[in-house]
Amino acid sequence: APRVGVLAVQGAFREHRARLEGLGAQVHEVRLPADLSGLSGLVLPGGESTSMSRLLTDFGLWGPLRDFHARGGALWGTCAGAILLARHVEGAPPQFGGHQESLGLLDVNVRRNAFGRQVDSFAAPLDVRGLAEPFPALFIRAPLFGDPGPDVEPLAWHAGQLVMVRQGRILATAFHPELTPDARIHELFLSGLTA
């Protein structure tokens, strides 16, 4: 069984854990750098990206997460987790001086809360490249991915906006596949792992 981690400092990590275990993966919760050893992939869950980034600083995880990727680890960010992966974060709160730290591993400009306050949360059937049937995507104060670099492969769009991308071993979804019963994107992530 693949050994995968879920970043478990904040957010919807239990739901990812349950889904991945349901698919036969061996799942480890990651809070400290040492928790990353022996994993082939890691899910960065949805939640609140400013809280998560503060906790990554407190737990000393920024460098170890970059090293994990550099050594061949796969990463999948959902919503706030995708924000953490991006090259640049737009819409950081003023108390952060408009700057929010991110891993800089995914070559996109992520815009937080991109779908506006009027439509905080919505569901939409999404055509995803590689999936035969539309995916029931749940968006919760979701970001969008702008200005993708040349190595970024677009996998899904909603309302003309990029909401799912892949770049090498990195997968990012603006929506929450762990909160709907459809397991196909978790399967996609697991199928891309080397061990």
Question: Least distance in Å: CB of 121 to ligand GLN?
Answer: 8
Question: Least distance in Å: CB of 16 to ligand GLN?
Answer: 12
Q: Which residues pair with 74 in a beta bridge?
A: 41
For 15, list phi and psi in degrees, rounded to 5. -65, -40
Distance from CA of residue 4 to its chain's centroid? 14
Rule CB under 6 A: which of 56-115 touch ligand GLN? 79-80, 83, 112-113
Question: Least distance in Å: CB of 151 to ligand GLN?
Answer: 24
Residues 6+ apart with CB under 8 A from 125: 134, 135, 136, 137
Q: Which of 2, 5, 46, 73 binds ligand GLN (CB under 6 A)?
A: 46
Report, as residue numbers or ranges, the catalytic residues. 79, 176, 178
Beta-carbon count within 10 A of 116 CB: 8
Contact criterion met (CB below 8 Å) for 102 and 145:
no
Q: Which CB sits closer to ligand GLN, 47 or 177?
A: 47
Choices 47-55, 60-68, 144-152, 159-167; region in contact with ligand GLN by CB under 6 A: 47-55
Q: Which CB sits closer to ligand GLN, 80 or 185?
A: 80
Q: Which CB sits closer to ligand GLN, 120 or 127?
A: 120
Radius of gyration, CA atoms only, the chain: 15
Nearest to 158 by CA among 171, 173, 170: 173
The residue ranges that bind ligand GLN (CB under 6 A) are 46-49, 79-80, 83, 112-113, 140-141
